[in-house]
Amino acid sequence: MEDKQFEAEMTELMQKHEKPRFGRKLRWFVYFLIALSILFIYLVQGVSTRIMGFQPPEMAMARYTPKDVIGDLGGMKVRIPRHYAKYVEYDGDPGFGRKRKGPRPKRTFDSRLSGFGMDVRFPDMKGLENAQLWEEKRRQPLQEKTWIYVWVNAGETYPGDGFLDRRTNSSLFNADPSKMKGHWLFTYERMPEDEYELEVWRLSGTDPRTGMPARESHTTNDIYIHRDSSGNVDVYISCGRPRVPSGIGSCNLATSLVPKSQVEVNVMFRRGLLPEWKRIQQSVRELLLSFEVEPSSLSLASSEPSLSTHTQTSR
């Protein structure tokens, strides 16, 4: 009798322990499935991000064009080799985050380009035309970076003739002694000595956050100006400072292709290349002008080229 009672108690005890054990296994299996699902989503999104970046699909697809680009660049008919064409936009293209309505228009030399960018190696001005150059650009140390980034605005994004003078007057507005009551971030004064044949403008006040001279702050920019023989600004350069101890400062050079074509040209490069600004400007100008198509050849190629079209020799 005692043996039967003992067996019954043991059976009941084992059943009590078996049920929770099965429940724990089931819970862990569910947790595993959830973790696996999260990992899958992460990997898919990671691949999508590497392909698309943080941008709408319309813009991502325009990042790298599969064929040469043709169009009207500020009044100049051009054919841009595909390895120089990045984020190509035409007048009327959908804005950021918007989808195109209707079919994509067929592009011709009369299609007005509104902008594009390109990575270029200075000083030979080669583009990203093969895997070796892509890898070189990726591996090149920041302190030795010779790759520059060029962005042009034309068509409906062109800011209008005289934009460099307007930009200069806006930036240096507080340089007028009678208007020195502006914000400390915009109180510029011209330095007594030019550098690299450029006017030098630096902040004259104090950074209220640190008590240090404003011109030494890592959040402020120095401005360099070049004027033509008539006194009009033809080059505007803004240079920042490193934001971290091991970082580098960068410069943005703004110029134009006027009177050849109504195009705003912006060039970004590391600050260490500032002494070479004149060569950079001239080299970028020559590169852009090399995309022009002679009138005699327009009738031979009046619409978009095929994927194998190359009418210009790679630099």
Mean of pLDDT values over 214-230: 89
Contacts within 8 Å (CB) and 24+ apart, 271-278:
271/239, 271/240, 271/241, 272/143, 272/248, 273/122, 273/146, 273/148, 274/196, 274/224, 274/237, 274/239, 275/196, 276/122, 276/123, 277/196, 277/198, 277/224, 277/235, 277/237, 277/251, 277/253, 278/196, 278/197
Q: Please, which pLDDT band fits residue 308 given cuts at 50, 70 and 90?
A: very low
Q: Please, which pLDDT band fits residue 288 given cuts at 50, 70 and 90?
A: very high
The full set of domain ranges for the chain reads 1-54, 57-298
Q: Please, which pLDDT band fits residue 190 given cuts at 50, 70 and 90?
A: very high
Sheet holding 86-90, edge to edge: 86-90, 113-121, 147-153, 264-270, 250-256, 233-239, 222-227, 199-203, 188-190
pLDDT tens sequence across 56-88: 444 444 455 678 999 999 999 999 999 999 999
Q: Please, which pLDDT band fits residue 181 given cuts at 50, 70 and 90?
A: low
Q: Please, which pLDDT band fits residue 148 given cuts at 50, 70 and 90?
A: very high
The two structure tokens encoding residue 284: 């970028």
